[in-house]
Amino acid sequence: MSHLTNSAVHDVLLALRRADLAGTLGWQDIKQRYRRSKLGPFWLTISMGVMIGALGLVFGGIFNTPLRDFLPFLAIGIVLWTFILTVISEGCIAFISSDAVIKQLPLPLFLHVMRVIWRNVVILGHNVVIIPLLFLIFLKPLGMVSLLAIPGFLLSTLTLTWVALLAGILCTRYRDLTQIVTSVLQIVFYITPIIWMPSMLSERHGYVYLDINPFYHLIEVIRAPLLGSAPTMTSWLVSIGMALVGWIVTLYMYGKYKNRISYWL
């Protein structure tokens, strides 16, 4: 087991040394996707802003929640969920979409996962513009506690990286798994407090939809500080636990199967 893990760690370290290449490939993906477009990725920002506004008006009215509280909550949740969704979905095809490069160039395979992460971090940077605009509109201040969103984001991204890597391995071997992951994520969206607030749940239902929902904690360690409160110790512990346990399991799986990935393509 240690040999397999060491092999995986070695590949990850080699990829990290080529982080500049992963960044270049990620930028190239974005440029190619929005070639000849005047606004580029900001089209996503505009469409997301319109969607957040529409959902805020509808669900704010349904839940009888003041827009000053609901819209910032909704915006942060939607922006972060989009990041999580795309990282996992694109992680499923990280190796499949790079099959030509994998078959022709002796690059560390983890570099292709880094490419997915970087590409989506850049897109997140465009979408996150919506959040400070809403804070300005509703005159919501940011206190010192908001700085906790930085380690929260790094921790969530660390977790999403192993999820993308593991999904890439499994979905390369079992191609139908990609569709299953997509369907499951659609369900997760509705049972995670993104378009509804945790305060709407009873204590009994809160345990099911909050405490044992890993996606809630991934979002909450970022969202709570931005909304002016520190994340709960439960959210921190669950997020740290997911990162540690997830990486241990994924590195073992990666070390065991990384040499077979090129044959599965």
The 10s digit of each residue's pLDDT in 205-240 is 666 667 788 999 999 999 999 998 999 999 999 999
Tallying the residues shown for the chain, one arrives at 265
The alpha carbon dihedral of 41, 42, 44, 45 has a sign of positive
pLDDT value for 204: 65
Q: Is 36 left (phi over 0), alpha (psi -120 to 50) or beta?
A: left
The two three-digit tokens of residue 210, written as one number: 């909050």
Residue 134: give the domain boundaries.
2-264
Spatial CB neighbours of 200, under 8 Å, sequence gap ≥ 6: 63
Q: Is 219 helix (H, G, I), strand (E, B) or coil?
A: helix
Regions of the chain where pLDDT drops below 70: 1-2, 37, 40, 202-209
Residue found under tokens 């060491």? 6
The number of folded domains in the chain is 1
Contact, 225 vs 152, CB < 8 A?
A: yes
pLDDT one-digit tens code per residue, 168-206: 999 999 999 999 999 999 999 998 999 888 887 766 666
Phi first, then psi, for residue 38 (nearest 5°) are -70, -40
